[in-house]
Chain A
Amino acid sequence: MDDIEALYRQRHDSVLVPLAVRLESYLRDQLRSATRIDRVAARAKSVHRFVAKAKKQVADKPKYTHPLSQIQDQVGARVIVFYLQDVGVVSKMVDDYFRKIESRILVPESESEFGYFGKHFVLFFPSELFDAELPADNAPKFFELQIKTLYQHAWAEANHDLAYKPGEELTADQKRKIAFTAAQSWGADQIFSELFSQLSAGHVEAAAVEPTSPLASWRTTFCSPPRPG
């Protein structure tokens, strides 16, 4: 494992860090025509996190026999968009301009669990990013791309920071609180999405119409009516 750490450290410093800088700039350029992007970021996986992942065991055997080839998020990129509709817009652009080996929507494992994640891709690095200074031979073939709304991003970051402390098990009450924040983020995205659809279609008056969708009913039940004046 020491070998892997040294090998990865070498790759991290000489290849992954400059590659992430190039990828971020490339993504910005490719997604330039998408209007509601809050931010685009790419980063190289830290040596510490890579080694921890490479050491994972499944049934008392190493999960990865060749971590440098098998771990596909050595460079990870993230595109944060405003609304749920924008996830679709950016996903379409990614489908058009990148070759993928994986594309999925990250969802909780069961309906009764809460979590709020976003869209995930594993993509080939585009050939443009390589040259004599940064040859493709020493680089991984893939990078991971996540597309999230602002609320998905906010929830995932806070959840990761609070809910995954090593050696600390959450109490039932703390789990309920995490689930509550996930549901609230989900609800905020749904409502922004509805508002965006209504307002961009010029149906401002739709807000005054009797709600019919389950979400609209939920809003009627649980949200206070606007104060007059």
Chain B
Amino acid sequence: MNRTYELMFIVRPDMADEDLEKLVSTLETTVTSAAGSVKSVDRMGKRRLAYTVRKFREGIYILMTIEGAGTVIHELERRLRVTEQVIKFLTVRIDEEQKRLEKIKKLREARKKVSAQPAAPAEEAPAAEAPTADVPAATV
């Protein structure tokens, strides 16, 4: 059962870049070893937190997109909880939302095509009707 998840976590602002890379790569290996796959890693950079977390006013945000079963997330979250540098994390399942968005997109495109196409036939239809309407008028 493959699902897509989005994992966002915040590490402490004073973390060095090398340590961060190390942390991300260890997380990636845990995902791959649990039969999952990392789709993308996005380092969103340092940002002010909306409230203090563990006495930190800012943090480094990292966003990962992961595909795999729930057990992958279970292991990943356990690891994040243990890791001292990670001050907050949030996992969101996004595959159903993506499906919904695609559906809406398709629907909109289909509607666009429909609204674009009948414009041409609609012009022909009145033109075809017009002579028939004119004929009785002319005879009378």
Question: Do A and B come together as binding partners?
Answer: no
User: Which of A's residues lie within 8 Å of B, judged by CB?
Assistant: none
Chain B positions near chain A (C-beta within 8 angstroms): none
